[in-house]
Structure 1
Amino acid sequence: MALPRRQMLALAGATPVLSFLPGTAAAATPPAEGAGPGPASAGDAADPYDSLLARAEQELTGGAFDPADPDFAAALAALEAEATTWWERLDTTQGRKALWADLSPASDPGMFGQSYPRLRTIATAWATPGTTLTGRGDVLDTLLEGLRFLGTVGYHPGRAETGNWWFWEIGAPRALMDTCVLLRAHLPPADLAAYVAAVARFCPSPDRRTNSPSLAETGANRADKAVIVALRGLLARDPAAPALARDGLSDVRDGGRNSLFRYVTSGDGFYEDGSFVQHGSVAYTGTYGSVLLGGAGQLIALLAGSEWAVSDPAVTVLYEAVERSFAPVVFDGVMMDAVRGRAVSRERSRDHHDGAATVGRVLQLAAGAPAGHAERWRSLAKGWILRNEATPYKGLVGIPALARAKAVLDDPSVRPAERPTGHVVLADMDRVVHRRPGWACALSLSSRRIAAYEAGNGENLHGWYTGDGMTYLYDGDDPSAFGDGFWPTVDPYRLPGTTVDTRVRADLGTSPGTSTYRPTNAVAGGAALDGRFGASAMELAAQGSTLRARKAWFFLDNAVVALGADITASDGRTVETVVENRNLHADGRQRFTVDGRRQPDEQGWRADLSGARWAHLEGFGGFVFPGPPRGEAAPTGSLNALREERTGTWRALNTGADTGGGSTPVTRRYLTLWFDHGPSPSSGSYSYVLLPGASAVATGVQSLSRPVVVVANNATAQAVEARRHGLLAAHFWQAGHAGGLYSSGPGTVLVRRTGRHVSVAVADPGRTGTELTVELPFRVRRVVRADDTVTVAPGGRTVLTVRVGGSRGHSHTADLVQ
């Protein structure tokens, strides 16, 4: 099976090689058996090319390993199966138009762009001990002829770029250089020179887009190109190219503007709050961010100890990203779909694949990082690997990544980290992550700053509502809810957490190139308090519709409260808010209970649940439907439930040249809960509470005891009070009062009282204000600590003045004493 284009790089990006940076504590540690080389030694100084090329080869084959080890035997069998498939189908006849019938003609960039990775797979099996292709002369001869064929009819310096630039500048050259590394001892010099010349033509440096020289490369694309340039230089024995690659990571030639080792405040790259953006406005930690981590990490490892070693002290930005950017969005080895962009539509690159690739890249980076970082990362990785029993890591990676993982798994001194807990607002990419010991919730928002979706080149055809407040709930007992056939089978008009105009939508991204959609709303984001609680909001401005809504979410220890207000539209179409659309997998019949009464479990069952106080879904948790705040009208619209079996195909989501899905039908069962607001609602509203992991009894008790009270849900403010936590949280859409709090304008406010201690968090997720005044509903005597943007006037009417201007939606906090 062909790999998607981003996974074409996984052999390099996710392949661990054990190498240590000079001057770190790890430098004194001997390499684990079979894990890879250490730094180039003084004895290698006379000819560093051979030693570094051997290191690059080991990144592809895994070096020495025990083929009798069941884990390695399985990985070896997987490599052999894929390589043998391509070997047996390879066309060697005279007059051929392509190496493989399904990749014809080979002159097309999409066809040679996919042919090189297949040759690389065969070459990897040829170079790896223990396969039926290992060391065979006929395989070597065929590989050499295949490279000559592609270099004659497809990829050579005499051609001009056509079609997708990526195949010319990253996809083909990377696979070609990897293959040359594996076959280098047998490549005729003239052939190698021709291949190096082709790569030099289309990927001369990491700095610029060759087909658009004024465009500077950023993020993952820069990291990919840096690795390609380094390999090209090593193969050509050209000392300038590895230096060019190393300096490309830091963008030396452009004064560091696009350095991968700097925090950005706009555009592509890592942000200090943990966000990662690519393509200017897309939340992309899980794919492009992971590829950047892998590419930069590989180059650091490859060049370590040589004259071209990466020595930029700002590399700490990459180290900090492991825990700041990646750890929050990996759940038990699964990469959250909220940060995977259009990759959610790739059948062969699902959340567990991208999660496994990221785990491998973290372990690769750990090999050369300072000891303190490396110890924490190995602990994180061990926890991720051990907890993912649904899609085990060992079955998702190749031999090199497996060697790195086994070294950690077999080391008793590495203790697996527990699931992280806490609340993180990734304001610079409009994402929110709330993590508890048994579950996690990710919120996917969008604004005029961050795209609601990206589509193009036939990918993500039905991603219309993925950035409209989609709510992903991850359960430790069911981590595959979104990876197990979810995207081809879910109703794309009913994604959890979204409020949707039910108009029929046309497929996205059917034309060449990628494009994004950014809505017109300003508000998207919220505030975090004590790293534990959060409140977020989004002003929905639906694409191609008059639908507008004010949506808010409140995140507590055991609950997520969702409120909607001021829901209006005038198009004559029904508007719905989706509470949940849970994947019950292929044959799920999970018990569904409403107000203590079990509901039918046959497919096609539908019911109007208006008036229900609570519901419970076995294996998921509970739902509570609270009454309206005092003095406000009851939520509008009917509450509905549906059990259905849905069938779809990955091809319907993705027709990409190298990522297109299969046409085999996929069937999954769903339980859907939604509010029907009717056609053209005016001032509609909703409220519901999600209780992940709660039992039916606990859900029923909470519906009666009301530990969380909705105190406002209107066009001015949406607010809740959690009395057990001493918490009052509100989002203000304009100046006004809620639960005794007062805000002078739009903003998010959380206040918590525990004994005499008071903690406050304030944010302006709309980024429209300069100063916000917040009046607390109780007396405060003194200030313990406050951000330098917060001024507190204690007293009977305690007032906080917060300078929110320029803070890009981030939280401002203070600690007070009553």
Structure 2
Amino acid sequence: MELSRRQTLALAGAGAAGALVPFATGSATAATSADDPYEPLLARAARQLTGGAFDPADPDFEAALTTLDTQAGGWWRGIDTSAGRKALWTDLSPASDPGMFGQSYTRLRTIATAWATPGTSLAGDAAVRDGLLDALRFLNTVGYNPARGESGNWWFWEIGAPRALMDTCVLLRAQLPAADLDAYLRTVARFVPDADRRTNSPSLAETGANRADKAVIVALRGLLARDPAVLVKARDALSDVRDSGKNSLFTYVTSGDGFYRDGSFVQHTYVAYTGTYGSVLLGGAGQLIALLAGSDWAVTDPSVEVLHEAVDRSFMPVLFDGLMMDSVRGRAVSRDRARDHTDGAVTVSYILQLAEGAPASYADRWRAAAKGWILRNRETPYTGLVGIPALVRAKALLDDAQVTPADRLTGHFLLADMDRVVHRRPAWACALSLSSKRIAAYEAGNGENLHGWYTGDGMTYIYDGDDLDAFGDSFWPTVDPYRLPGTTVDTRPRTDLGTVPGTSTFRPKNAVAGGAVLDGRYGASAMELVADGSTLRAKKAWFLLDNAVVALGSGITASDGRTIETIVENRNLHADGLPALTVDERRQPTEQGWSAELDDAGWAHLEGVGGYVFPTGGPLRALREERTGTWRSINSGADTGGDPTPVTRRYATLWFDHGSSPDSASYSYVLLPGATEAATLAWSRSRPVRILANSPEVQAVSSPRLGLLAAHFWAAGSIDGLACDGPGTVLVSRRDDGVTVAVADPGRTAATLTVRLPFPVDEVVATDDTVTVTPGRRPVLTVRVGGSHGHTHTARLR
């Protein structure tokens, strides 16, 4: 199956830079003299594509070889060589169209990779070599050449086509006539003269993943042209020497595209994009660092440590057993050829690539984490998702007895600069996808993510180690897009998004999205919902604790005459799942199409998923259904369009029905991921977490066992003796070893917040420099939240 453009580009760069010299004929290097600085690097670039020397008879490589051979062989046999042809393949016609020649180069690269890889049916075949040379000339003549001006999507002209073309030239370099190579280099120089600027819009500086992509293209062009000045351009683009580091990939940003200190990654100015664009940046920069290592153009910028820190801060929190969380994949969730497991595997490959040249203090930790990810994911094994170059690394890692696989990461990660929250426990994780006037609710365009309307409205993802395919197993084409878990929605009919060329985002008008984190373990988050195209408004809050997620909603108001719903759960039960649903100790029917009104429900349990507690009862609704959809219905993109074949999945759905045009309605529910039926019943009776308030002014909970009090204040107020003089999030932990207070202003509207605690404090142990404490019987904290971008301020007291 053909991969998406980003995924194909990503996998092409996920090679094994440290492998041995590759298969002789396909990747053979011309004889070099000792003073030739270019050919060793070109040989390294070829190894990054093929994986270098390996034993084709090794069963560990059998599946990857078969995949490569099948895909390349099919495309090779399908090439049109007739006189007067308009394209190389009938489904990519005419080749003069940028989308068509862009994808054609990608296929040629795959064929060239198979030709250069031992063990495939195309390896070293002279007819394949000649066919590739002819196909490249054809595309240069009718499609991609310096005489043409850009049309359509710029990406094909400046990233997609030139990258695949340069990779193919690297593999064929000993076979390419000089005139052909010169023509291709002049074409790439025309459309990618450097990585600093968008060629079709010279005033636009390239940032993030696009800059990393282009830097690799420029480097490959420089090596093939044997031009040291071009190689300097490629290296310096990573640090943005041209603009004094303004768009350096090795710097933390405070707005726009790039890595943030809190672990956020943003691309397209407003979109949380760690899982795709962030991964591409990691891979592109990491590949170029590996490619140029030890040469006159080696990357020596000491700020490269920012990239190392990004692995820990940005990527590890959103990788769960090797899959990439959908909350940070943007419009890519609609791509059936790049699902969460696939994007996760690509990112793991990039982390292992970067580890080869990183300090041991980083590399040892990453390799241990990667080994744990690979070994735990048995449902969709890593080894079946990656190509030979990544397998070379993975095999070496798995065979290394000195590397002990790391356990799952635990903790609470508030990624305030991209409105995302990740709460991780030993057996499960919860991710919240929020949005605000700063971060888009969704991105759509070029036919992608057609039904992404509510993905940023508080969608709640629960990841369970016992079912890693909850979102990867055809969830997006089959789920009811009006009933995404965690969202409060107006049931009005919506039209498809992003059907016109180009991409666009929707940013709501609310300011509040985010919260505070306590001791790196607990968190409270809130989002003011200002619905798109509706009068619907709501105050939503989540409190994330050891074994529970408490979700509260208040002030739910609308006046459009339509039903408003809050979705507690909409779980993918896969093609034939029939897990038991128990409500208040009563087993519910299992037939598809069953539904019920459960106004007095106290708790529910879904076998194999977990428990749900409803502290204030209904009006709860439940449904079992089979839903059929197609990937094409959510992605009609020219090069990423989905499979039109219908797929069917079963779902168990729980939701609150707030009725038509509700006036200050509310809800409360507790998620107990992985809990047994008995544990759910016990939790519902003991109520270890108490809801103290759920109003438009304050939403708050307490856990006496944890000594924890947590609140989000929508306005100045107090609850249970805890007071705050303005909107903000406050968590207080009072235990035998002392008191910890965490405060944040997720709305980013205040200069200071004053917090009064409900118990005496004698001593200040430590505080952030933004916090001032006045101890006493009713201690007061004055927190300078202005300019802190919604991040948490902490004080430790006794």
| 2:793 is the counterpart of 1:812 | yes
- CA distance in 2: counterparts of 1:750 and 1:275, whole angstroms: 22
Structure 1 equivalent of residue 696 of structure 2: 715
1:14-25 equivalence runs, <5 A: 14-18=14-18
Name the CA distance, whole Å, in 2 between partners of 1:595 and 1:377.
Answer: 45
Q: Distance in 1 between the 2:775 and 2:507 partners?
A: 42
Name the structure 2 match of 1:22.
none
SS in 1 for 2:15: coil
Is 1:696 aligned with 2:703? Answer: no
1:742 aligns with 2:731: no
Q: Which residue of 1 aligns with 2:711?
A: 730
1:86 aligns with 2:67: no
Letter in 1 for 2:7: Q
* Contact 1:12–1:294 (Cα < 8 Å) also in 2: no
Please give the alpha-carbon distance, in whole angstroms, between the structure 2 residues aligned to 1:739 and 1:492: 39
Answering whether residue 739 of structure 2 is matched by residue 758 of structure 1, we say: yes
State the alpha-carbon separation in 2 of the partners of residues 433 and 771 from structure 1: 27
- TM-score using structure 1 length: 0.96
Partner of 2:26: none
Amino acid at match of 2:624: R
* Structure 1 Cα separation of the partners of residues 738 and 586 of structure 2: 43
User: 1:719 touches 1:739 (CA, 8 Å); kept in 2?
Assistant: no
Aligned positions of 1:143-158 closer than 5 A: 143-158=132-147
- Find the counterpart in structure 2 of residue 26 from structure 1: none
SS in 2 for 1:408: helix
1:669 aligns with: 650
Residue 3 (structure 1) aligned with residue 25 (structure 2) = no
- One-letter amino acid of the counterpart of residue 784, structure 2: R
Q: What amino acid maps onto 2:330 in structure 1?
A: G
Structure 2 match to 1:774: 755
Q: Displacement, 1:640?
A: 0.2
> What residue number does 1:268 align with?
257
Instruction: Give the equivalent residue in structure 1 for 2:159.
Output: 170
- Offset of residue 14 of structure 1: 2.1
Contact 1:486/1:583 (8 A) holds in 2: yes
Distance 1:742 1:33, change over 3 A: farther
Residue 700 of structure 1 aligns with an amino acid whose one-letter code is L
Amino acid paired to 1:719: A
2:490 counterpart of 1:501: yes
Question: What amino acid sits opposite 1:465 in the alignment?
Answer: Y
Matches within 5 A, 1:527-542: 527-542=516-531
Contact 2:219 2:231 in 1 (8 A): yes
Q: Would the alpha carbon gap of residues 531 and 352 (structure 1) be closer, same or farther in structure 2, given more than 3 Å must change?
A: same
Whether the 8 Å CA contact 1:429–1:450 is kept in 2: the answer is yes
Q: Is the 8 A contact 2:628 2:648 kept in 1?
A: yes
Secondary structure class of the residue paired with 2:495: coil
Q: What is the alpha-carbon distance in structure 2 between the residues aligned to residue 531 and residue 86 of structure 1?
A: 51
Q: Do structure 1's residue 127 and structure 2's residue 108 form an aligned pair?
A: no
CA contact (8 A) 1:251 1:257 kept: yes
1:51 aligns with 2:32: no
Task: Name the structure 2 match of 1:659.
Answer: 640
**Native 8 Å contact 1:712 1:739 kept in 2:** no
Q: Which residue of 1 aligns with 2:779?
A: 798
Alignment check: 8 A CA contact 1:16 1:361 kept: no
Q: Structure 2: which amino acid aligns with 1:697?
A: A
Give the residue type in structure 2 aligned to 1:16: A
Query: Counterpart in 1 of 2:27?
Result: none
Which range moves more in the overlay, 4-13 or 113-122? 4-13
Indicate the residue corresponding to 1:339 in structure 2. 328
Question: Contact between 1:13 and 1:291, CA under 8 Å: does it hold in 2?
Answer: no
CA contact 2:95–2:142 (8 Å) conserved in 1: yes
Identity of aligned residues (%): 75
Q: Which amino acid aligns with 2:192?
A: C
In the aligned structure 2, how far is the partner of 1:806 from the partner of 1:14?
39
Change (3 A) 1:45 1:781: farther
Match of 1:198 in 2: 187
User: In structure 2, the residue corresponding to 1:9 is in which secondary structure?
Assistant: helix
Given that 1:457 and 1:510 are in contact with CA atoms closer than 8 Å, whether structure 2 keeps it comes out as yes
Give the Å deviation of 1:32: 8.2
Aligned residue in 2 for 1:351: 340
Alignment of 1:401-420 (within 5 A): 401-420=390-409
Q: In the alignment, which residue of structure 1 is the partner of 2:454?
A: 465
Question: How far is 1:372 from its partner?
Answer: 1.5
Shift of 1:48: 1.2
Q: 2:626 is matched by which residue type in structure 1?
A: E
1:103, distance to aligned residue in structure 2 (A): 0.2
Contact (CA 8 Å) 1:8, 1:175: kept in 2 or not?
no
Contact 1:8 1:171 in 2 (8 A): no
- Once residues 474 and 301 of structure 1 are traced to their aligned partners in structure 2, the CA distance between those partners, rounded to angstroms, is 34
Which deviations, in whole Å up to 9, do the C-alpha atoms of 1:688-727 show, x marking residues without a partner?
Answer: 0000011101100111111010000001100001111010
Contact 1:536-1:552 within 8 A present in 2 as well: yes
Aligned to 1:445: 434
Output the CA distance in 2 between the equivalents of 1:374 and 1:385.
Answer: 16
| 1:288-318 deviation per Cα after TM superposition (whole angstroms, max 9, x unaligned) | 0000000000000000000000000000000
Q: Could you tell me whether the CA contact under 8 Å between 2:21 and 2:47 is conserved in 1?
A: no
1:252-291 alignment to 2 at 5 Å? 252-291=241-280
Structure 1 residues 345-424: aligned runs within 5 Å: 345-424=334-413
Q: Which runs of 5+ in 1 are unaligned?
A: 19-30, 36-42, 628-634
Aligned-partner Cα distance in 1 for 2:462–2:231: 44
Question: What are the superposed Cα offsets for residues 649-692 of structure 1, whole Å, 9 maximum, x if unpaired?
Answer: 00000011110001000100000000000011100100000000
Alignment check: 8 A CA contact 2:22 2:46 kept: no
Amino acid at match of 2:686: S
Does structure 2 conserve the Cα–Cα contact (< 8 Å) formed by 1:219 and 1:268?
Answer: yes
Cα distance in 2 between the residues matched to 1:152 and 1:246: 31
**What is the RMSD computed on CA atoms of the aligned residues?**
1.4
Tell me how far 1:370 sits from its aligned partner.
1.0
For residues 384 and 154 of structure 1, the distance between their equivalents in structure 2, rounded to whole angstroms, comes to 42
CA distance in 1, matches of 2:169, 2:208: 26
Count of aligned pairs: 792
Mapped partners of 1:736, 1:161: distance in 2: 58
In the alignment, what sits opposite 1:101?
90
The alignment status of 1:546 with 2:540, answered yes or no, reads: no
CA contact (8 A) 2:15 2:47 kept: no
Q: Which residue in the other structure is 2:172 paired with?
A: 183
Partners in 1 of 2:784 and 2:20 — Cα distance? 53
- Superposed, 1:217-296 pairs within 5 Å as 217-296=206-285
Deviations 1:514-565 (Å, cap 9, x if unpaired)?
Answer: 0001000000000000010000000000001010000000000000000000
How far apart are 1:67 and its partner, in Å? Answer: 1.2
TM-aligned CA distance change 1:33 to 1:560, over 3 Å: farther
Match of 1:69 among 43, 49, 58: 58
Deviation digits for residues 442-475 of structure 1 (CA, Å, limit 9, x no counterpart): 0000000000000000000000000000000000
1:594 counterpart = 2:583:
yes
Where does residue 767 of structure 2 map in the other structure? 786
Give me the whole-angstrom Cα distance separating, in 2, the residues matched to 1:479 and 1:323: 22
Q: Is the contact between residue 44 and residue 51 of structure 1 (CA under 8 Å) also seen in structure 2? A: no
1:616 Cα shift? 0.2
User: How far does residue 371 in structure 1 lie from its aligned partner after superposition?
Assistant: 1.4
Which amino acid is the alignment partner of residue 675 of structure 2? A
**CA distance in 2 between partners of 1:770 and 1:604 (Å):** 53
Output the TM-score relative to the length of structure 2.
0.98
User: Equivalent of 1:639, from 620, 623, 639?
Assistant: 620
Q: Distance in 1 between matches of 2:343 and 2:141?
A: 34
Q: CA deviation at 1:249?
A: 0.2
